[in-house]
Structure 1
Amino acid sequence: MNILLVDDQLLFLESLKIVLENLDKTFKVVGLAGNGEEAVKLVQELSVDLILMDVRMPVMDGVAATKIIKEKFPKINIIMLTTFEDDEYVKDALHNGADGYMLKNIPPEMLVSSIQAVKDGAVLISPSVAGHLIDSMYVNNKKAASNLKRDIPDWYNLLNSREKNIIKLLIKGRSNSEIAEEIFVGSQTIRNYISVIYSKLDVGNRTEAIRKAQQIDSFFTISYNVIYKSTF
């Protein structure tokens, strides 16, 4: 997995590069950027799968850079990695397409697990950030969250995070080989996953699976905006 690190503290970047590459040999840090503007330039020059992005930086902050990168390269996952727990930063980052919002005091092993989970389709938020955000949003979101939960079909709850991610990609029209490449598994593994998905959705083929999933396609989008406490 090719990773781009973005932070205005060079010492932190160098240390994080060493930690990530030592803890997971599949991780390769392909670039370091000191601000959002540099990150936007580098993603156009390098092959990048995932970005760890700070929030507050000179020239261009991470929230603005996330919006630009996600518009041009939607397949690149972006995790905000910062010291700031401000509600507005969190909401703006997620609104702009960030796939996670983690604090820099996260244990290294948990950061590695978080990166892997995001590549499997999860949207992760540090527990302390999520708890604070939920408290502040509880009243406004209580009714929306209740309606959302009521509308989820039983088969959706049978799916694990990777199967949900594969369904999203099926809806987008991805082929088996494209899905395999995007989530870093073999083509046979994808065929196995899709077979399990057919069983859980009680359908017989790809067209039926996509049609059934499209009935709640809006949930796959809405779920990014309803914040739940993360558990690790």
Structure 2
Amino acid sequence: MLPIDVDTSLYSIVPLAREDLPVDTVELARFMVGKCLVHDSPEGRVSGRIVETEAYPIGDSTSYAYRGLRPYNAALFRAPGHAYMRLVYGASYTINMSSEPEGEGAAVLFRAAEPLDGVPLMTRRRPAVKYADLARGPGRLCAAFAIGPEWDGVDLCGGSSLWIGRLNGDDAPFARVAAAKRIGLSREMHELLRFYEPGSPFVSGPKRLLEPLVR
């Protein structure tokens, strides 16, 4: 683990094409653990390895797409790989990604990331925060990456300055991935739809809720 005042902009990250993404919400949520989120902002690059995701498949009553296509959730009905930005509790934005064939509404939530590039930028955006907590949680992740409502609908596989990728040389289809029940919901919490990298200090939520390794 590097100190937070060191600029670690040394990572080679290869963009993911839409064809690389599994066209299934649960499989995509699992697949994205170990992949990268990158924001090439005017201030500089910020990137991180995604260490925790959450699946909101078709028919899930807690999904933002459950009640069908609306003006506010149109990004969830696009082809896999489009960002959907959501304001939660009136305070924090979260980033979701569309995950099914165009016209079918479903999403993968990016819950937490291990900071890679741009750690000094992240610490300026989230001052007096421990390194492990910079992007540990969906609202914290968006604050550290400086991504908000202006990114709603952006194609994360389309060459924009906000994109997804994998570390160069990492050709494994999956990182070590475990599954757990989702947190912060009042219903549909029983299924193992939260995926994470076991042992990572950057995973959010109470450690007592984590489950055994599944892949």
Tell me if both proteins adopt one fold, taking TM over 0.5 as the criterion.
Answer: no
TM superposition score category, shorter chain reference = under 0.3
Structure of greater Rg? 1
**Greater RCO, CA 8 A, separation 6+:** 2
More helix by share: 1
> TM-score when scaled to structure 2?
0.27
Instruction: Provide TM-score, normalisation by structure 1.
Output: 0.26
